[in-house]
Amino acid sequence: MPAAVAQEAVPTAEPTVVTPQLSPGSQLITELYANVNVGQLLPSDFSEQLVNLFREPKNIPSDLPDLRIKHVDLEELVGDKLQQELVKFLETNSASAALGFKRLADLALNPEGASLKGVERLLTLVERVENLIDKQDIVRLISVREDSLTKVEQSLVEPRVSKFLISLIEKSNTERRPDLALKYLAELKVEWAQREIGELAVNSILALSELNQAGLDTQRVWPFDDARVGALFQQEELKRNTRLMNMIAELHSKRVLQLVVENNAERASHFFNQLLRFRPDPDDQNNQLRLEIARTATGDKVRSFALNRLAELEKQNALGALTKFRLALSGVYGAAIPVVFFLLIVVFSVVGGIVIFRPTWVGLGGAASERGYLKPAEAEDELSRLLKVLGLDEDSSEGDIKTAYRNLAKECHPDRLKDIPEAEREEKTRRFVAVKMAYDRILERDRSGFRR
């Protein structure tokens, strides 16, 4: 019988499945997903904790499990929370520092969903703005603002743009280009500006004034013809700044006078009209400028411009007669008027000289005419009155006059009136004065050329 061969059964080993050990971070994320799936964690808490884990890119584990959220409502909740936290983060950080938010969005959100697209739009927008700022591409940067941005997007774009514009404003003023500074300032939006816009405007106008005082060519750097700059200074906040408005008006005043000297009526009129936007009429300084324009305008092209300014003064009743007379003498109203005045002065001077130094040429009696301007008949009447005071007639001789004067003077002299009644003394005193005045006048007439 054949020998039975006993064979031992060899056991077959099952393959060992080795579960990889997850990092602590991945384990925490896995637990979050498990707890929310079984209802042990509120969706809102799940969203907040998950987003916080991805806030710092360096803390994100490399062995992440599958994070795709299958439940639509939970995915939407996580997407909303992710966008809210991303906005807060980007308010103080750059887009490049928000990689953790981007990675969570890519891993957890639906690739075709609105939440992922919202996160990508925010990051793309901020990154674009930051790149344009780095390149100092101001034109394209401003064009970004013209896109249809939501309020949230504006809150991320405008502070960055404003900060950049303010840096350009300060740099331009330092480099003596206030014209560029004002153009950058015109692009600032008041509600987003991180500096007082009035202060920035004053600094730029001061820089422009310094150029003007230094005698540099401000025409090359004149900013007020730019429509955006003009609109800037029509903002109520700046219009209420009296100091700023007067500074701008003074710049325009100097420019107007310079153009008047250059005989450029068209440009002078343009700048004068601009000035009135910053310092409206009625205003004393504007009226003084009008007078200065009239005095300065010597060229043929600006004469009409100057006369129009004087017409404005007359309309305001601000042009006095004396001022108008002086302007006429200076030739403002034409060269003929001062010539006529000159001829009149010459005529009056000649006539006056003849009357004074050669009175007989015009029928006057010498120096006596200068004193009394008496005609011959009037002179004879005067002599009769004087002789009558002395008790004489016209036929009296010089000797008779002297004798009569001496007798009357002796009779009425105050030294002889001490012992007579007061009434009589007063009467003789008046008589003495009248006699003396009459005799002195007769002598004066004889010396002056009136002969009897």
Cα end-to-end distance, the chain, whole Å: 211
Please state the three-class secondary structure of the chain as a single string: CCCCCCCCCCCCCCCCCCCCCCCHHHHHHHHHHHHHHCCCCCHHHHHHHHHHHCCCHHHCCCCCCCCCCCCHHHHHHHHHHHHHHHHHHHCCCCHHHHHHHHHHHHHHCCCCCHHHHHHHHHHHHHHHHHHHHHHCCHHHHHHHHCCCCCHHHHHHHHHHHHHHHHHHHHHHHHCCCHHHHHHHHHHCCCCCCCCCHHHHHHHHHHHHHHHHHCCCCCCCCCCCCCHHHHHHCCCHHHHCCHHHHHHHHHHHHHHHHHHHHCCCHHHHHHHHHHHHHHCCCCCHHHHHHHHHHHHHCCCHHHHHHHHHHHHHHHHCCCCCHHHHHHHHHCCCCCCHHHHHHHHHHHHHHHHHHHHHHCHHHHCCCCHHHHHHCCCHHHHHHHHHHHHHHCCCCCCCCHHHHHHHHHHHHHHHCHHHCCCCCHHHHHHHHHHHHHHHHHHHHHHHHHHHCCCC
- State the residue for tokens 């064009």: 143
Q: How deeply is 312 buried, as exposed, middle or buried, from its count of CB atoms within 10 A (0-12, 13-18, 19+)?
A: middle
pLDDT value at residue 10: 39
- Cα 372 from chain centroid? 63
Q: Residues with Cβ < 8 Å from 180, sequence gap 6 or more?
A: 168, 172
Each residue's pLDDT, cut to its tens digit, for the chain (452 residues) gives 444 444 444 343 344 333 457 788 888 888 989 998 898 999 999 999 999 988 887 778 887 888 899 899 999 999 999 999 999 999 999 999 999 999 999 999 999 999 999 999 999 999 999 999 999 998 899 888 877 889 999 999 999 999 999 999 999 999 888 989 999 999 888 788 777 888 889 999 998 888 877 665 555 668 888 888 888 888 888 888 999 999 999 989 998 998 999 999 999 999 999 999 899 999 999 999 999 999 988 888 898 999 999 999 989 988 888 888 887 777 776 554 555 555 556 666 666 666 555 555 555 544 444 444 445 555 557 788 888 888 888 888 888 888 888 888 888 877 777 778 877 878 888 888 888 888 888 888 877 665 45
CATH topology of domain 373-448: Helix Hairpins (1.10.287)
Q: How deeply is 183 buried, as exposed, middle or buried, from its count of CB atoms within 10 A (0-12, 13-18, 19+)?
A: buried
pLDDT value at residue 181: 92
Q: How deeply is 62 buried, as exposed, middle or buried, from its count of CB atoms within 10 A (0-12, 13-18, 19+)?
A: exposed
pLDDT value at residue 130: 94
For the chain, residues classed under CATH 1.10.287.110 are 373-448
Number of residues that this document lists for the chain: 452
The pTM assigned to this predicted structure is 0.61
